[in-house]
């Protein structure tokens, strides 16, 4: 069942702010190869102590939400990018980061590695090729 | 039959969500939507030791302007959908 984001995400943010962990299955493929949209589920927690490499849920414009990785932190300014994207970053204030991913699970319930993806973040130039390989080999 | 414990009813927009929820965790992968009348029924049977279609029909008659036949038919449909969603057990 798919709820509209403008209803669903604020509810998720509210529950997380109350200290609950929230599990849901994100859609879209912008976090390949780390999160397979519509397949993998993520656990969200309060976004304390943000760091580059964290995967976060953020409101980048009013009622426009992304679940992307932090690629840069400068003071309170946060730069985000989808691991499956070849270009284009989003920017927001740290207060607009609503939750942080603490766990990624495959449909079988197995925990997938939650890394900071240092290497992946630094191989933008060859990402297109690796995403192509991923799509052909794993999907 | 009786409800399977661990689900919380939450209003959201014009509907209600029945979500698998514990003190620490809310799982949106295990949820179904209920309309207003189904949410009313759920609230009233959640604490009961057991219930059947007749119980739900009586609850519908207390709250809504429907005939006994219609109430029983709706109650049976509700039970069938809850069984399919695996949120109640015998």
Residue at token pair 């003071």: A75
Q: Report residue B23: phi and psi, to 5°.
A: -60, -35
CATH class of A5-138: mainly beta
Q: Which residue has the higher pLDDT, B53 or B14?
A: B53
Closest Cα in chain B to A6: B13
Interface predicted TM-score of the whole assembly (ipTM), two decimals:
0.78
pTM value is 0.80
Residues in B touching A3 (Cβ below 8 Å): 12-13, 17
Radius of gyration of chain A (CA): 14
Residues in A touching B24 (Cβ below 8 Å): 20-21
Residue at token pair 């990624």: A104
Check A15 against B27: CB less than 8 A apart: no
Give, as one character, the DSSP assignment of residue B86: T
For B46, half-sphere exposure in the C-beta direction (CA atoms, 13 angstrom radius) is 13
Residue B68: pLDDT over 90: yes
CB burial class (10 A; 0-12, 13-18, 19+) of residue A117?
buried
Task: Quick: pLDDT tens for A64-77.
Answer: 999 999 999 999 99
Check B28 against A7: CB less than 8 A apart: no
Residue B53: pLDDT over 60: yes
Q: Report residue A70: phi and psi, to 5°.
A: -75, 120
Q: What is the pLDDT averaged over residues A26-34? A: 92
Closest Cα in chain A to B26: A22
Domain boundaries, chain B: 2-89
Tell me what percent of the residues of chain B surpass a pLDDT of 90.
59
Check B32 against A12: CB less than 8 A apart: no
Residue A89: pLDDT over 90: yes
Residues in A touching B33 (Cβ below 8 Å): 1
């Amino acid at each position: 069942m798919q709820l509209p984001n403008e209803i669903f995400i604020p509810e998720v943010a509210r529950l997380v702010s109350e200290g609950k962990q929230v599990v849901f299955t994100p859609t879209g493929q912008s976090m390949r190869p780390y999160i397979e949209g519509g397949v993998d589920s993520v656990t969200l927690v309060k976004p304390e102590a943000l760091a580059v490499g964290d995967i976060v849920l953020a409101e980048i414009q009013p009622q426009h939400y992304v679940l992307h990785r932090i690629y840069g932190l400068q003071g309170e300014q946060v730069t985000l990018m989808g691991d499956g994207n070849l270009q284009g970053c989003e920017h927001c204030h740290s207060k607009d980061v609503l939750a942080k991913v603490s766990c990624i699970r495959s449909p079988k319930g197995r925990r997938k590695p939650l890394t900071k993806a240092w290497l992946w973040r630094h191989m933008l130039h060859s990402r297109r090729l690796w995403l192509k390989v991923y799509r052909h080999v794993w999907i | 039959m009786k409800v399977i414990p661990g689900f919380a009813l939450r209003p959201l927009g014009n509907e209600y969500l029945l979500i698998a929820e514990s003190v620490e965790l809310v799982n949106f992968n295990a949820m179904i939507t209920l309309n207003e009348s189904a949410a009313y029924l759920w609230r009233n049977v959640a604490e009961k030791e057991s219930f059947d279609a007749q119980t739900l029909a009586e609850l519908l008659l207390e709250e809504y302007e429907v005939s006994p036949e219609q109430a029983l038919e709706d109650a049976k449909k509700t039970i069938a959908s809850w069984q399919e969603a695996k949120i109640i057990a015998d």
